[in-house]
């Protein structure tokens, strides 16, 4: 039976790398995958999932208005899909998470979602909250804080390089704007060992 998976972590844990590797494994065995990424994240280019280690692949794009069940179902009817892989899954809506669950439940296509669990204020993203609620399988991809402990939080940096306390939940960026920290150093806002 197909499942809905949520692979989550803080920033810079290698989520996109793991996603691209999973897709490669399917393709290497003669199977077909579909990759999806959030339309608003175009850091690597429009419709591109890229890893910090230099690998990338083209992907379909979604935003909050897309019906992912119908989008994928149409492609599945044209070419049998063996897996759907979703990057930046924190940007899904709750309805879209249920649509992805229906792909697994009704069409028998496994769906593997990869994304952040929480934002820079320690709050769940809507897509992540829904995935944590209904995914069949939750997998944490680990990264580390500068102190060596497991990093589970992120801070967003302002133009001055100092942690921001307020702001919009979504501000696309990478190492230029975000640092992953353990909970202790997130609370104390200590960014490095001085």
**pLDDT tens-digit readout, 88-117:** 999 999 999 999 999 999 999 999 999 999
Burial code (b: 16+ CB inside 10 Å, e: under 16) for 140-178 equals eeebebeeeeebbbbbbbeeeeebbeeeeeeeeeeeebb
**Domain regions of the chain by residue span:** 4-142
Longest pairwise C-alpha distance within the chain: 57
Output 38 or 172, whichever has higher pLDDT: 38
CATH fold of the domain at 4-142: Rossmann fold (3.40.50)
Output 134 or 180, whichever has higher pLDDT: 134
**Catalytic residue flag (residue 88):** yes
Residue 81 CA: distances (Å) to CA of 76, 112, 131, 149: 5, 13, 21, 39
Out of 28, 77, 78, 88, the active site residue is 88
What integer is the mean pLDDT of 43-54? 75
What integer is the mean pLDDT of 132-155? 93
pLDDT at 169 over 90: no
Average pLDDT, the chain: 88
Q: What pLDDT sits at residue 174?
A: 57
Q: Grade residue 35 by pLDDT with cuts at 50, 70 and 90.
A: very high
Q: What is the DSSP string of 116-178?
A: ESB-TTSPBPHHHHHHHHH-SEEEEPPEE-TTSSEE-EEEEB-TTSSBPSSS-S----STTTE
């Amino acid at each position: 039976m197909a499942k809905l998976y949520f692979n989550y972590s803080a920033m810079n844990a290698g989520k996109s790398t793991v996603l691209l590797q999973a897709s490669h494994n399917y393709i290497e065995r003669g199977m077909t995958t579909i990759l999806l990424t959030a339309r608003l994240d175009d850091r690597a280019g429009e419709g591109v999932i890229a890893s910090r280690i230099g690998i990338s692949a083209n992907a379909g794009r979604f935003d909050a208005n897309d019906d992912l069940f119908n989008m994928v179902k149409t492609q599945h009817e044209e070419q049998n899909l063996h897996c759907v892989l979703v990057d930046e899954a924190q940007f899904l809506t709750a309805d879209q998470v249920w649509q992805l669950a229906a792909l697994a439940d009704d069409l028998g296509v496994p769906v593997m979602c990869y994304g952040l669990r929480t934002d820079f204020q320690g709050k769940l993203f809507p897509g992540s909250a829904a995935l944590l609620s209904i995914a069949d399988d939750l997998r944490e991809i680990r990264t580390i804080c500068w102190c060596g402990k497991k990093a589970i939080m992120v801070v967003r940096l302002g133009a001055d390089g100092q942690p921001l306390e307020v702001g919009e939940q979504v501000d696309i960026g990478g190492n230029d704007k975000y640092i992953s920290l353990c909970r202790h150093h997130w609370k104390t806002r200590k960014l490095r060992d001085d």
